[in-house]
C-alpha cells in the first residue's frame, strides 16, 4: 500500500465536514488503495471541540480500512503539519437574507492565520481548497499569506455551481446527466456567477442546438443556479451541506486526475477572460498533472457572456477592495 495522504479539514465539527469526512475516509477522494490520515481543525471552544471528538468516535466506528489516523486539534500548525491537501471549510455560513459577501468581515480574517500556518508547515506539494464563504475572496486572502507555496496551489470551489447547472440543464433537455459536458461556471461563487451554456455540449452537440429556449438559458438557468444556495437556506434553515461536501469531493478528484475533461475551479487570475489580475475567478480548467491545472485558452464569448463576466468580475474586484487590509 502507498504511504497515507494527509488531508487537513477545517470546520471539522460542522455540517459540511459531517458529510465529507466519511467519504474521504472510505476512499472517495483518492481511490480504494490509497490510505489517508485526517487532520481535523476546530476552534478552541469547548462545544465544537467536544463535537469534534464525537465525529472522531464515529469515524472509528465506521472501521474504514483506509483511515490510517485521525488527529483532532485546535491548533492550525498541528492540523496543517505535512498536509498534502488542506480543505478550508471552517467559517461561518450565511443565514436567511444574507449574501455570501456579508460574511467577508467575519470570515476573511480566518484565512490570514490559516494561510500563514499552511505556508509554514504543510507539505511542499500541498494543495489548498477554500470552501468557506465568500470562498473566492477568502482564497485570495489565504494565498496572499503564502511565501513558500505558489498561488496556483490555492483554489476555491465553484464545483457546486457547475453541478447545480448540469442538473438543471439535463432536466430541461430530458437527458441523463452524463450527456452534459463542457459546462463551465465563470466568476464568483455568488448570484453574479455565469453558467456558460453557449460552450456546453449535450451528447456532444452544442447545447444551444438542443435547448433553443434562450430566455430560459439567459435568465432562468442563471437565476436558479445563482440563487440555489439561498433557496436551500430558506428550505432547510441551514446552508447546503451534503451537496457541498459532494462538490468538494468532485473538485479534489478532478484536480487530482489528469484528463482533458473541462471543469470549473476558481483560480488566480492573471487577467484572463476579462477578469482583473490578482482576483480568484472561476474559469474552465483541465488537470495536466496530479494537483496541477491549466486554464483552457481561447474561448470567445458573445456580448451576453462578456456582459455577465463583467458583472461577476466587478463584484470580485469590489470584494477585494473591502479586504485590502487583509492582503498584506
Ligand atoms: P457550520 O457552521 O456547520 O460549520 C462550520 C464549522 O467551522 C463550525 O464547526 C465552526 O466552529 C468551524 N470554524 C469556524 N471558524 C473556524 C476556524 N477559524 N478554524 C476552524 N474551524 C472553524 O457550517 P458549514 O455548513 O459546514 O459551512 C462552512 C462554510 O462553507 C460556510 O462559510 C458556508 O457558507 C460555506 N459553504 C460554501 C459552499 C461553496 O460552494 N463554496 C457551499 C456550502 C457552504
Ligand atoms: C451554497 O451555494 O449553497 C453555499 O455557498 C451556501 C450559501 O450561503 O449559499
**DSSP output for 49-76:** HHHHHHHHHHHHHHT-TTEEEEEEES-H
Binding site membership of 160 for ligand 1 (Cβ less than 6 Å): yes
Question: Going by CA atoms, what residue is nearest to atom 31 of ligand 1?
Answer: 93
Residue 199 falls in the annotated catalytic set: no
- Report the atom number in ligand 1 closest to the C-alpha of 135: 41
Number of neighbours of residue 307 by Cβ within 10 angstroms: 12
Residue 173: what pLDDT? 98
Binding site membership of 94 for ligand 1 (Cβ less than 6 Å): yes
Q: Please, are residues 129 and 184 in contact by the beta-carbon 8 Å criterion? A: no
Question: Going by CA atoms, what residue is nearest to atom 40 of ligand 1?
Answer: 160
Number of neighbours of residue 96 by Cβ within 10 angstroms: 8
The residue with cell 486526475 is 257
Residue 257: what pLDDT? 97
Residue 48: what pLDDT? 98
Residue 74: what pLDDT? 98
Q: Please, are residues 74 and 46 in contact by the beta-carbon 8 Å criterion? A: no
Task: Tell me whether strands 292-295 and 184-186 are parallel, antiparallel or unpaired.
Answer: unpaired
Question: What's the 311 CA to ligand 2 centre distance in angstroms?
Answer: 19
Which three three-digit cell numbers place residue 145?
499569506
Question: What's the 59 CA to ligand 1 centre distance in angstroms?
Answer: 20
Q: Please, are residues 134 and 93 in contact by the beta-carbon 8 Å criterion? A: no
Report phi then psi at 13, rounded to 5: -100, 5
Residue 105: what pLDDT? 85
Residue 1: what pLDDT? 87
Q: Please, are residues 202 and 211 in contact by the beta-carbon 8 Å criterion? A: yes
Residue 95: what pLDDT? 85
Q: Please, are residues 149 and 119 in contact by the beta-carbon 8 Å criterion? A: yes
Residue 47: what pLDDT? 98
Q: Residues 58, 89, 314, CA angle at the centre, nearest 5°?
A: 160
d(CA 184, CA 17): 26
Question: Going by CA atoms, what residue is nearest to atom 18 of ligand 1?
Answer: 110
Domain coordinates in residue numbering, the chain? 5-156, 159-322
Residue 220: what pLDDT? 98
Domain 5-156 superfamily per CATH: NAD(P)-binding Rossmann-like Domain (3.40.50.720)
DSSP 8-class letter at 152: G
Q: Which of 68, 189, 199, 268 is flagged as catalytic?
A: 189
Which ligand number lies closest to the CA of residue 117? Answer: 1
- Report the atom number in ligand 2 closest to the C-alpha of 232: 3
CA distances from 301 to 15, 166, 293 (A): 37, 19, 22
Cα 229 versus chain centre, distance: 14
Q: Please, are residues 284 and 185 in contact by the beta-carbon 8 Å criterion? A: no
Question: What's the 280 CA to ligand 2 centre distance in angstroms?
Answer: 17
List helix spans (H) across the chain: 15-25, 46-62, 76-80, 104-107, 110-121, 135-144, 159-173, 207-210, 214-215, 221-226, 228-236, 242-256, 303-322
Q: Which of 11, 20, 133 has the most ligand 2 atoms within 8 A of CB, as the residue to mutate?
A: 133
Question: What's the 302 CA to ligand 2 centre distance in angstroms?
Answer: 28
* Mean pLDDT per 10-residue interval, the chain, length 328 residues: 97 98 98 98 98 98 98 98 98 89 90 97 98 98 97 98 98 98 98 98 98 98 98 96 98 98 98 98 98 98 98 98 91
For the chain, percent helix, then strand, then coil, each to nearest 5? 45, 20, 35
d(CA 265, CA 135): 11
d(CA 107, CA 88): 11
CATH architecture designation of domain 159-322: Alpha-Beta Complex (3.90)
Tell me, yes or no, if the pTM score tops 0.85. yes
Amino acid at each position: 500500500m502507498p504511504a497515507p495522504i494527509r488531508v487537513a479539514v477545517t470546520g471539522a465539527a460542522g455540517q459540511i465536514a459531517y458529510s465529507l469526512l466519511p467519504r474521504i475516509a472510505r476512499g472517495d477522494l483518492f481511490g480504494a488503495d490509497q490510505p489517508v490520515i485526517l487532520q481535523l481543525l476546530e476552534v478552541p471552544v469547548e462545544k465544537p471541540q467536544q463535537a469534534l471528538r464525537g465525529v472522531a468516535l464515529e469515524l472509528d466506528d465506521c472501521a474504514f480500512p483506509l483511515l490510517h489516523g485521525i488527529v483532532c486539534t485546535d491548533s492550525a500548525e498541528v492540523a496543517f503539519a505535512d498536509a498534502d491537501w488542506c480543505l478550508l471549510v471552517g467559517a461561518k455560513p450565511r443565514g436567511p437574507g444574507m449574501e455570501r459577501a456579508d460574511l467577508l468581515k467575519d470570515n476573511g480574517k480566518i484565512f490570514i492565520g490559516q494561510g500563514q500556518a499552511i505556508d509554514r508547515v504543510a507539505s511542499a506539494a500541498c494543495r489548498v481548497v477554500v470552501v468557506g464563504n465568500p470562498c473566492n475572496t477568502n482564497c485570495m486572502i489565504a494565498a496572499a499569506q503564502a511565501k513558500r507555496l505558489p498561488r496556483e496551489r490555492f483554489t476555491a470551489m465553484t464545483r457546486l455551481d457547475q453541478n447545480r447547472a448540469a442538473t438543471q440543464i439535463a432536466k430541461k433537455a430530458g437527458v441523463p446527466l452524463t450527456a452534459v459536458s463542457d459546462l463551465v461556471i465563470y466568476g464568483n461563487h455568488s448570484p453574479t456567477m455565469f453558467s456558460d451554456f453557449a460552450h456546453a455540449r449535450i451528447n456532444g452537440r452544442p447545447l444551444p442546438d438542443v435547448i433553443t429556449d434562450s430566455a430560459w438559458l439567459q435568465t432562468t438557468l442563471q437565476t436558479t443556479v445563482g440563487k440555489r444556495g439561498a433557496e436551500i437556506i430558506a428550505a432547510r434553515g441551514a446552508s447546503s451541506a451534503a451537496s457541498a461536501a459532494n462538490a468538494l469531493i468532485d473538485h479534489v478528484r478532478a484536480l487530482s486526475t489528469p484528463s482533458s475533461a473541462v471543469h470549473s475551479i476558481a483560480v488566480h487570475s492573471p487577467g484572463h477572460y476579462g477578469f482583473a489580475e490578482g482576483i480568484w475567478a472561476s474559469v474552465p480548467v483541465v488537470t495536466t498533472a496530479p494537483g496541477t491545472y491549466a486554464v483552457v485558452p481561447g474561448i470567445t464569448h458573445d456580448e451576453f457572456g462578456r456582459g455577465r463576466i463583467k458583472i461577476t468580475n466587478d463584484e470580485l474586484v469590489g470584494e477585494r477592495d473591502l479586504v485590502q487590509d487583509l492582503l498584506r
